[in-house]
Chains A and B, each alone.
Chain A
Amino acid sequence: MELFQFGFMRRALAAGMIVGVLCPLIGIFLVLRRMSLIGDSLSHVALAGVAAGIVSGVYPPAAALVFSVAAALGIEQLGKKYPEHAELAIAVILSAGIGTAVVLVSYAKSINIDLFGYLFGNILTVGPGDMWLIAALGSFILVFVGIYFRELFFIAFDEEGARIAGIPVKKINLLFTILVAMTITLSMRIVGALLVSSLMVIPVAAGIQTAKSFKHAVLMSVVFAQISVVLGIVFSYHLELASGGTIVLLSVVLLMLVLGFKSLSNK
């Protein structure tokens, strides 16, 4: 296709497709553990990190990574204080993230164009440096999930059973939360902080509907995310729409189609 003759479009597509593998892959474990809100929470903190990076002159994705990993650890720690209310820690960190972002933006006075890129996603600004970050973190996440796939599945299905089976649940949960923070940071450039968690949740919602097994659910979630990302990039280029929003809307359309098709075939 002619649009991919441009370097920036090829980068956009490559970055988009990596994110389109990572988000549902991480997202399915979050959804099945009823922790989807954690994505929202961490992405808002990551946004505060971007703002801090812009204000202090640090490479914003690096600052975002530090912020969101710290927030992930914060959620773990706070969660221990409220073992019966997991959502409380998530809500507190989310608010802290938004608060920090807003304060930093108002401190910087001029509303920075860059910040909008991170808020809503601007796939066309993915530079070669960003590509490296996305590829490196992305490979790390893939390898981790590959190695701990059985453990992550077991914990998601039955955390207490996993603990009894001798799986180091605490350690894996902690590492996994850090992976969530990483995934969010590197996806922010593509779909925007506001929409990252949608890409972690919506393709998974569609994938689960069609699943014949857990592995199949993972595969289908990734397939739905890839369709949304690739079509979303093409559409947003031709119709001059915001890439993040287009990708997420397409994934919603896919979910609707899957749900509609399923209720028809069940009749």
Chain B
Amino acid sequence: MNMEKLISIKNVSFSYGSRPVLENINLDIYRGDYMGIVGPNGSGKSTLLKLILGILKPAKGSIKVFGKSVDIFNRWERVGYVRQKASFFNLGFPATVEEVISANIHSGKGLFNTSVKRCRERVYEVLSHVNMEEYGGRLIGNLSGGQQQRVFIARALVNSPEVLFLDEPTVGIDLDSQREFYCLLEKLNVNMRITIVMVSHDIGVIAQKVNRIVCMGDGKLICHQNSSGEMIPEVLKKTYGDWISPIIHDH
């Protein structure tokens, strides 16, 4: 298989103030990957995503996105991001689901602006991917946490990104919705060829679904495996300790 590198992280370190969070991280993400990032709370998973997305700047090392240094990369519509916890916004904000999603539509410059009608079609297209097409006209603050999360996934998909980053996307979502959600991700990865990078504590799912796994602990990559089935439980054991094995075997 010829593997196209979408993201390349070399010797990256980062600290908040004087507090080191990531040390000497090396990681490549290839087109078509379904990557799971696991690790205890505070191990720097969200920070790593923010560095890739250019929200934070690395103190050392280099990050390349689609072959370009993250500082000068400007085709962010090729990258989708669903951040940790959907409740970052003010729940009283008077905005409909349709307005929230269409605000993210990347429109060309000047005269090549996407037409209103085309935007609307696109919004309902992505809403149908997450089974939310009936909710386009609803106020975002009136939806349940799980529904909001699906709206934010739809928002991340609206520009047909080539890679999708998800930070603990299933926290606070009931089990049925979670199952549907993982089906959706699989569909995106397999049918639509979207590269997926997901931070999750949902170890059972990670072990089953992803094809590459990255474990973080103490700001370091403890291990990094191309999963060929059996490898993954071993890897997880190394990250979280022995208590993990019964959970994995449940699935």
Contact = CB atoms under 8 A, between A and B. Distances in A.
Given A154-B104, A157-B100, A157-B103, A165 B92 contact: no
A214 B95 contact: yes
Nearest to B165: A164
B88 A158 contact: yes
Given A154-B104, A160-B55, A208-B92, A215 B81 contact: no
A213 B94 contact: yes
A212 B141 CA distance: 11
A154 B104 CA distance: 8
A214 B81 CA distance: 23
Interface residues of B, number: 27
Interface residues of A, number: 23
B94 A208 contact: yes
A244 B13 CA distance: 57
Interface in B40-56: 53-55
A109 interface: no
Given A160-B55, A163-B55, A165-B106, A213 B77 contact: no
A172 interface: no
Say whether chain B's binding surface is mostly helix, strand, loop, or mixed: loop
B191 interface: no
Interface string B9-33: 0000000000000000000000000
A166 B74 contact: yes
A28 to B, nearest CB: 9
Contacts of B76: 164-166
B55 A164 contact: yes
Contact of A166 (B77, B94, B137): B77
Say whether chain A's binding surface is mostly helix, strand, loop, or mixed: helix
B227 interface: no
B99 interface: yes
Contact of A213 (B55, B79, B89, B95): B95
Contact of A153 (B79, B81, B99): B99
Contacts of B77: 165-166
Given A157-B95, A164-B81, A166-B77, A32 B106 contact: no
Given A166-B74, A214-B94, A154 B103 contact: yes
A216 interface: yes
A149 B19 CA distance: 39
22 contacts: A32-B93, A150-B103, A153-B99, A153-B103, A157-B89, A157-B95, A157-B100, A158-B88, A158-B89, A161-B155, A162-B103, A164-B53, A164-B54, A164-B81, A165-B104, A165-B106, A166-B106, A211-B139, A213-B94, A214-B93, A214-B94, A214-B95
Interface of B: 53-55, 74, 76-77, 79, 81, 83, 88-90, 92-96, 98-100, 102-104, 106, 137, 139, 155
Given A160-B55, A166-B106, 19 more contacts: A150-B103, A153-B95, A153-B99, A154-B104, A157-B100, A160-B83, A161-B81, A161-B83, A161-B104, A161-B155, A162-B103, A164-B81, A165-B77, A165-B106, A166-B74, A211-B94, A213-B98, A214-B96, A216-B94
